[in-house]
Amino acid sequence: MQDLVKDDIAASLKGRDFLALADYRPEEIRYLIDKAIELKRKQKAGEPHHLLKGKTLGMIFEKSSTRTRVSFEVGMYQLGGQALFLSRNDLQIGRGETIGDTAQTLSRYLDGIMIRTYAHRTVIELARAATIPVINGLSDQSHPCQALADYQTILEHKGRLEGLKMAYIGDGNNMVHSLLMGAAKLGVHMSVATPEGYEPDESIIQQARENAAATGAHIHVCRDPKEAIADADIVYTDVWASMGFEAEQKEREIAFANYQVNDELVRYAKKDYLFMHCLPAHRGEEVSESVIDGPNSIIFDQAENRLHAQKAIMAAIM
C-alpha cells in the first residue's frame, strides 16, 4: 500500500468500533492484517511499539476464555497500555444495571472496551451507548478477531489470499459467519458443508455473496463434506457444540457424525492444504488427532496471531 493510502485508511479507523468484518472495507481489513504482521515482526525483534502508552482497555467477559483474555491482556501490555478484566459478577450489569448505563460510565474511565458475550445485540447496544471504541471479542453471531488472525495466518503461510479456496466443515456458527465475510472481502473462495438444520445464517450468506461479487470470490454452501473440501487450500473446522449449546452435545454428535475432518476426508484437499481450528478443540470429535497434530496443521500459529491481530485492531482504533 502506498503511504498516502495507508495514512487515509489509518485516519478512517481511528475511533471506530470493531464489531464485525462486514463493517470494514476490503482495504481496511488488509491494512489491519498488514499492521498485525508489522507488529508481530517488531515483537519478535524486541522492538518497542508502545502505541497505546497510558491507555486502558476494559475487558468484559460473560463467556469464559483462554486465548481471548490472555491475548488482549498481553497485547495491551506490549502496546504500553493496561487491560482490566471485568467479569459479569464484577460489574453492576450482573445486578440489573443496563448495558447502556454501563457503557456510558465505562466511557468516562477507559479508552476502549472489549466484550466477549452471548447475544450479539449486547455488543450492538454496548457500542451504541459507548463514546469509546468497542471490540467484539466474540458473540453468538460473529468472531471477527479470530477471523482476522486466521487470514493473517493464511497470508503468512501461502503468501497470498486472493484465489485460495477455504473449506469449512461443521457447524454453521459464529466462526463460519466471520470467515465468510472475510473470504468475500479478501477474494478467498469458500465452501461450507453442514448437516441440514445447522447452516450459517442465510442473511450472512447473502451478504457474503454480495460482497464477493466485487472481489471475484465464490461462496458455496452444501451438505457433502467431500464436495466442499475438493481441491481446498485451507481446511477449517470448529467444535460441534459451541459455548451455550452444550445441552445439545449428544444430539449434535449424531447429526455431525459424517463431518469429522480426518485422514480419509483431507485426501480430497490439495496435498499442501493447511488445517485450521480456532480452538479449543474436541480431539476425536470434529477432527482426528492425526490431522490436528499432523504436518499440515497450523492451529498454534493461528492462536499466536490472535495476539498480533488484536494489537493491530487496538492500535488502529484506540
User: Do the annotations mark residue 1 as ligand-binding?
Assistant: no
User: Do the annotations mark residue 66 as ligand-binding?
Assistant: yes
Q: Which set of grid coordinates corresponds to residue 123?
A: 455488543
User: Do the annotations mark residue 242 as ligand-binding?
Assistant: yes
Kindly give, in sequence order, each residue whose CB lies less than 8 Å from that of residue 24, ignoring residues fewer than 6 positions away.
18, 32, 185
Residue ranges of the alpha helices (H) in 56-173?
67-78, 99-109, 120-129, 144-158
Kindly give, in sequence order, each residue whose CB lies less than 8 Å from that of residue 264, ignoring residues fewer than 6 positions away.
none
Any idea which residues carry the catalytic annotation?
116, 143, 146, 238, 278, 306
User: Do the annotations mark residue 237 as ligand-binding?
Assistant: no
CB 32 within 8 A of CB 309: yes
User: Do the annotations mark residue 121 as ligand-binding?
Assistant: no
Backbone angles phi, psi at 169, to 5 degrees: -115, 120
Full strand arrangement of the beta sheet holding 274-277: 219-222, 189-193, 165-169, 234-237, 274-277
User: Do the annotations mark residue 222 as ligand-binding?
Assistant: no
User: Do the annotations mark residue 238 as ligand-binding?
Assistant: yes
User: Do the annotations mark residue 174 as ligand-binding?
Assistant: yes
User: Do the annotations mark residue 278 as ligand-binding?
Assistant: yes
- Give the annotated binding-site residues: 65-68, 92, 116, 143-146, 174, 238, 242-243, 278-279, 306
Binding-site residues for L-ornithine: 174, 238, 242-243
Annotated binding site for carbamoyl phosphate: 65-68, 92, 116, 143-146, 278-279, 306
